[in-house]
Amino acid sequence: MHTIEKVNKTIYMDKHDCDYIKKYEKAVASSYPKKTRGTNIYGVMKNSECYHVTLDEEYLTYIKAKYKNGTPNRFDHQAIYIRQIIEDLFPNDLMFIHSKATYHPVTTISSNTKYNIYDRDENVLKDTYTSTTFEFDIWYMKDWVECPKNKAELAKIKEIEDRKAVEKLNIACLKDTIVAALEQAGIKTAFVPAGNSRYGDRAYIKADNKTEWNKIVLLGINSYLNNIAKEHGFKVAMPNIKKNAKLNEYTPFFFLDNIEIVNERE
């Protein structure tokens, strides 16, 4: 009915993906493993215990009979997919297969069709049921092992640890002083600790709201322009813009009726 042969075919997957699959999948896991080891400081998993499965015509007859009253697939109750085959062959194990093998039916129930060899005709993908056998590769989820960290990962981890040490020191010694100085200048801020979703594991200080953001942007532009302007004997006033305006390339730097001469040029 079927044969299972152990073959040498190593695949790799990031550890967080592997952990997620183990946590939530109950019968058949699928993903897009890599043929070569990638780089990930949070862990790379390897599975070298590949099993090549071959199904024959006897199994084809058996699986059609098993689902003669309809398959449990919610999209197509006549088609038999690879997940149903795997659950039939490995009923007590969590197995892993490449996702691309799960998209198309292996066979159908109510016809004389054989196994799907999934052909391509003039760049149009089509199902063709003409094969007397069906073959696929599969791995046990329990066989995944974590790879030792490589040089690139160790270097990146060291870089992050060094950055975190600086960050920790600056939070302890400088954060409150910076916040107080900005508040004294009229800018309300908010401190966002490490672990936020937008910038990963880095702590930062931001404007407390859109109004404060606009204020510091306009103050910064005005200060920069006046550093230039004083060399030429004039100064410019900060434009009066709505507090919650959307600042962009159309926002005026200053108005021409708000320029003041501060000394006479010779």
- The model carries a pTM of 0.75
- Distance CA(32)–CA(98), nearest Å, equals 6
In this structure, the answer to whether residues 157 and 80 fall within a common structural domain is no
pLDDT of residue 266: 46
74 lies in a domain? yes
User: For each successive 10 residues of the chain (266 residues), what is the average pLDDT?
Assistant: 94 96 88 95 96 96 91 83 94 94 89 84 82 95 96 96 96 95 93 83 93 94 95 93 92 94 67
Residue of 153, 159, 156, 151 lying closest to 167 (CA atoms):
159
Could you tell me if 236 and 128 lie in one domain? no
Residue from 135, 64, 50, 59 nearest 95 by CA: 50
Pair (64, 106) in one structural domain? yes
Q: Residues 196, 100: one domain?
A: no
Boundary (domain end) residue, out of 146, 179, 213: 146
Closest CA to 31 of 47, 53, 42: 47
Do 61 and 129 fall within a single domain?
yes
Question: Are residues 137 and 169 located together in one domain of the fold?
Answer: no
Residue 142 shares a structural domain with residue 156 = no
User: 94, 123, 146: which is the final residue of a domain?
Assistant: 146
- Residue 201 domain-assigned? yes
Give me the domain span that covers residue 17: 2-146
Q: In the prediction, which pLDDT does 127 show? A: 83
Looking at the structure, do residues 194 and 135 belong to the same domain, yes or no? no
Domain count, the chain: 2
Q: Are residues 61 and 105 in the same domain?
A: yes
Q: Which of 116, 146, 176 is a domain's end point?
A: 146
Instruction: Judge whether 266 lies within some domain.
Output: no
Task: Please give, one letter per residue, the 3-state secondary structure of the chain.
Answer: CEEEEEEEEEEEEEHHHHHHHHHHCCCEEEECCECCCCCCCCCEEEEEEEEEEEECHHHHHHHHHHCCCCCCCCCCCCEECHHHHHHHHCCCCCEEEEHHHHCCCCEECCCCCCEECCEEECCEEECCEEECCEEEEEEEHHHCEECCCCHHHHHHHHHHHHHHHHHHHHHHHCHHHHHHHHHHCCCCEEEECCCCCCCCCCCEEEECCHHHHHHHHHHHHHHHHHHHHHHHCEEECCCCCCCCCCCCCCCCCCCHHHEEECCCCC
- Please say whether the beta carbons of 1 and 56 come within 8 A: yes
41 within domain boundaries: yes
Same domain, 188 and 64: no
Residues 93 and 162 in one domain: no
- The answer on 172 and 142 residing in a single domain is no
